[in-house]
Amino acid sequence: MTGNWTQEPRGIISGVLTESFSDTNCQHATTVEGTFSTSPIRTARFGARESDSLGRLQWSAVRGPSFPVLASAWQGTLRIKRSKIQEIYNLTPGSSQPGWYNIQGQSADATYTLTGALIVTSRDQVTAWIVRQLPSGAVTSFYTGNVNLSRHTLDLTGTDATGARHQISAVPQ
């Protein structure tokens, strides 16, 4: 559906549109032109009725989710049993999916590096995996948790490939 939309001073949205339909085999394409008007409501829903050459059509749309934007530099504490290790995480937004971040970093004392990925949802839930290149070899860890942008915190819990429980608490640098 394409067209030009305008918003009147009272908030009513109206416009002219062109719709293109086709069956599942794309053998019978139909194009119709029409007009529509609607009064937007204060929720994520948007609906309108339009009149075109085939009659009246009613449609509705839902606003897409808004994904949190994370800072690029984070400093965190990794807890494994009773030990605490300071780590530095650099997040780079992925270009293929919203809410996807590539992770690169290292321990604060630079004894190992790490890489991975983090996915944050529109509801501030997080899933991540990190591969740490330790002097003894690579160890992969998997995490779930949440991000709180108002408190500027990222809290994750998970395990590594050996089954050791991990906890990460991080804040932007």
Residues 55-66 have pLDDT tens digits of: 665 656 556 678
83: pLDDT strictly greater than 70: yes
Q: Tokens 């608490």 belong to which residue?
A: 169
Lowest mean pLDDT among 8-12, 21-25, 95-99: 21-25
54: pLDDT strictly greater than 70: no
Q: Where in the chain is the domain with CATH 2.40.128.120?
A: 73-172
Mean pLDDT of the chain: 83
143: pLDDT strictly greater than 80: yes
96: pLDDT strictly greater than 60: yes
Whole-number Å distance between alpha carbons of 102 and 72: 10
| CATH of the domain spanning 73-172 | 2.40.128.120
21: pLDDT strictly greater than 60: yes
Element (H, E) at 12: none
